[in-house]
Amino acid sequence: MASIFTRIVNGEIPSYKVAENENYYAFLDINPLAKGHTLVIPKMEEDYIFNLPGDVYAGLWEFANKVAKAIDKAVPCKRVGVAVLGMEVPHAHIHLIPIQNESDMLFSNPKLQLSSEEFVAIAKAINEAWEGNRK
């Protein structure tokens, strides 16, 4: 059975997409620690990030780097933090989280409650920065 992330990539479940290419997909986390909290995934379904083939693993990080730069342009923050936990969904993924300080990365922090309109606006801003970086 396909993971929830594979179902998102396939369009079976809606998402707030911020970036995509033929091998990778980035979308807003619907339970974000901060505005702009983004998940970056390979389209290849693999549970554990360190089980990805080397080229897919390297490509995922290169794609995440570009998405992080777009987040940095679109969302006010000091840095874009990176976390790889991999326990909550059986599909390799990277969390990119706009942060002001290290404590913003604590996954035990309360999650933000954003409206659909806020998610759409954030995704649009990141996507525009992403597209601007690609030119």
Q: Which residues are catalytic?
A: 93
Q: What are phi and psi of 95, to 5 degrees?
A: -90, 130
List the beta strands (DSSP E) in 17-135.
17-20, 24-28, 38-42, 79-83, 94-99
For every residue of 92-113, DSSP letters joined together read --EEEEEESSGGGG-TTSPPP-
The residues near 73 (Cβ < 8 Å, ≥ 6 apart) are: 129, 132, 133
Q: What are phi and psi of 80, to 5 degrees?
A: -110, 115
Other residues' Cβ atoms within 10 Å of the Cβ of residue 58: 11
